[in-house]
């Protein structure tokens, strides 16, 4: 099920410029009323296993095992992507409420909200 705070696998394809690429986990950041609507798209934040990015302002470290992730990861709040819902392949898990609050704080910071 696609819901806010859920982590899914997606294939972002080949790298173009500095856009995220390849198969990787993403975190659904779109609100559930939109996720449950007839809207065919979903807004996600890309996760990376490059833990050095955890030091970047707003980014959130996610330890291995959290949300079913196999390794330490970082939610990159500057790498937001709109996808068709059917591009989300395997559901991985759900982040904790505390991690989602940290992501929300990072999103507010990067988006100036």
Q: Where are the domains of the chain?
A: 6-111
Fold of 6-111: SH3 type barrels. (2.30.30)
The answer for residues whose C-beta is within 8 angstroms of residue 59's C-beta and 6 or more apart is 53, 74, 75, 76, 77, 78, 106
Read off the pTM: 0.93
Output 36 or 15, whichever has higher pLDDT.
Answer: 36
Average pLDDT over residues 4-13: 92
What is the overall mean pLDDT for the chain?
92
Task: Yes or no: say if 55 and 49 are a contact pair by the CB < 8 Å rule.
Answer: no
Q: What is the pLDDT of residues 67-106, one digit of tens each?
A: 999 999 999 999 999 999 999 998 999 999 999 999 999 9
Q: Please enumerate in sequence order all residues whose Cβ is within 8 A of that of 65, keeping only pairs 6 or more positions apart, or say none.
A: none
């Amino acid at each position: 099920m696609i819901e806010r705070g859920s982590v899914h696998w997606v294939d972002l394809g080949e790298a173009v410029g500095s856009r995220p690429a390849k198969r990787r986990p993403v975190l659904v950041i779109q609100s559930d009323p939109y996720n449950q609507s007839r809207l065919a798209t979903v807004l996600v934040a890309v996760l990376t296993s490059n833990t050095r990015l955890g030091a970047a302002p707003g980014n959130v470290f996610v330890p291995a095992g959290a949300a079913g992730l196999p390794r330490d990861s970082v939610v990159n709040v500057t790498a937001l992507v709109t996808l068709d819902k059917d591009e989300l392949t395997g559901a991985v898990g759900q982040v904790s409420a505390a991690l989602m609050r940290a992501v929300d704080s990072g999103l507010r910071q990067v988006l100036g909200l």
